[in-house]
Structure 1
């Protein structure tokens, strides 16, 4: 146990925490905007998974990480817009649609992955060259904190930046006020001649951009290949994080850091041979998520019209 508290181990663990937090943060902030618009999108997991597969196949076929990144973002937007067509235009049940997207993504990516392996042969799975970390000149040389905070992927910096961008947008701009009104009282917007469906489409497109980016990070930054089911419940965890963060950007960031720390802790604990069943360590973030859901007692900021299709009278 004492091995975990050595400085090099702690620095490595906290640096890993921030890297692990990046896809969770991106997916959570994107889903926050979607839910603030009144849409319950449970298909974040599927959107991330399909985006991860798109990033992998596009990067392999083109030889460019940037093409893979673009493919992932476009895939995420396409998946989320399919939700917009179903839930906003045709008023189909949002929970059923989201679950259907997850099931489709799981089966489709597994099938396409197995088909792609036929052209490479068993035991010869190709990999991509992941994006390197970017050290910020000067700041990265600060003892301890420099290695943790300022030697990360650009995706990590962007993910944390988007927390404050989302806060400013939601609470300091007219468009953010309109978006929050969608989740609280869409009829008020409609009576002013403002399009409810257009704004919900835009919110879902932004959520798709963020989920696509989160899926790309898994393949192009944290690993170097696609593995079926590699999202590992992160899309579901993003939804839990939004509830734990009470639908507010900064508390959501803090919740993401807690879950990322737990995952980084279990990875380091296994690395130093801590005598705890690894199954328990793997389950630790999700156990804490359940406890957090049970223990929340603060006044809920959940949008009043969340998950309720809007019908013009």
Structure 2
């Protein structure tokens, strides 16, 4: 008698996540309440010209309430598509989420600007959003590098604030903003070094160290401001800031030129650093070793990578980049230091790291979204929109909550993120 052995075919069990379609649908319904409960008569005018382009883009005039409904319908359709994809065990693609966001933003702007006394200056809105997002991008890049190497950086706020303080004082003493920028990078490295000593060498809980550093830097900079900078405002806290440097030809491109190429040198450096971090992380030996010690430090140690030295190096690089973000506040935005002037930007940058799934490009896009939400409240108040300013001020934080809650799907941190490595 022969015995026939039947081999069972491998089965794959997929877990359906309804989080993304539910959030997409809920936000679309909330936005739909605006034209439903408070319809606005009149047209919305979108201005895409800055006044000095070679080719002038004409204004776009659309009916406010109708455009809002179009945006809501598109968003609801995408929410339904997301539900269908979830039922078929498929993830919602990022480009579909991007269309969803653009549709709701355009619809909301059309509703808010309908019948107002002024037009909606899209150049000013987007260029201002880029300016506000710049320190967030620097902070987010620092967070991505540190956490990819396995070190949780809660101290981004401290690095931004230390960079802002040092940049103001050094630039005032030397009379050049370039010296202030270098000093800000050194301040960020100093904060990162303290984080590294406690987290990497002495295995202290990284979250606790980051929180303590934030409180420490806030206290130290506030004390030094009151005791040193305030009594010597003219010599220690009066900065000659960086000026905008339009790039010839590129700055005359319609729409994109005034937004991207009429910025300060710090913004141009940000463009370069975003590309350099992305390229280095995925195309160089440095990036491979960084990701190795963040995912599996024991395996990296086995093949000869010095885990502690690699983590130290990346934490210090991250601190220098975050320090540049702090310099933006005093060398570009406001030509003086004020206590706690970063106003929690480090935590928004940390949220951008999670929103961007620990990827430099995605984290940059997330920071741009937060900068846009921040700048939107000031623009709408100028044109006389009925949206309360208090609501617009809380909008960046609402966006952060939805983003971290899973608007872009599940986020997985590096496997060894926050875990000290003790060499056996």
Question: What does residue range 1-313 of structure 1 map to in structure 2 within 5 Å?
Answer: 5-7=46-48, 9-120=121-232, 126-296=237-407, 298-313=409-424
> Relative to structure 2, which stretch is displaced further, 34-43 or 289-298?
289-298
- For 1:104 and 1:235, how far apart are their aligned partners in 2? 15
- Partners of 2:45 and 2:219 lie apart in 1 by 39
Structure 1 unmatched runs, 5+:
none
Q: Relative contact order: is structure 1 or structure 2 higher (C-alpha 8 Å, sep ≥ 6)?
A: 1
CA RMSD of aligned residues (A): 2.0
- Mapped to 1, the partners of 2:209 and 2:246 lie a distance apart of 42
For 1:48-88, what per-residue CA distance to the aligned partner results, in whole angstroms no more than 9, with x for missing partners?
Answer: 10110111111112222122112111111011011111100
Alpha-carbon distance in structure 2 between the residues aligned to 1:125 and 1:60 = 5
Q: Distance in 2 between matches of 1:171 and 1:200?
A: 17
Bigger shift: 156-165 or 225-234?
156-165
Gap regions ≥5 residues in structure 2: 1-39, 51-120
Whichever of the two has the greater Rg, that structure is 2
Which structure has more helix as a fraction of its residues?
A: 1
Deviation at 1:103, TM superposition (A): 0.3
- 1:288 and 1:50, CA in 2 relative to 1: closer, same or farther beyond 3 A? same
Q: Bigger CA drift: 158-167 or 148-157?
A: 158-167
After TM superposition, the score normalised by the length of structure 1 is 0.94
Does the 8 Å CA contact 1:120/1:126 hold for their aligned counterparts? yes
CA shift, 1:127, in A, is 3.0
Are the equivalent residues in 2 in contact too, given 1:13–1:268 (CA < 8 A)?
yes
Instruction: Point out 4+ residue stretches in structure 1 off by more than 4 angstroms.
Output: 1-4, 123-126
Compute the displacement of 1:167 (Å).
Answer: 1.7
Moved more, 77-86 or 17-26: 17-26
Structure 1 CA distance for aligned equivalents of residues 345 and 242 of structure 2:
21
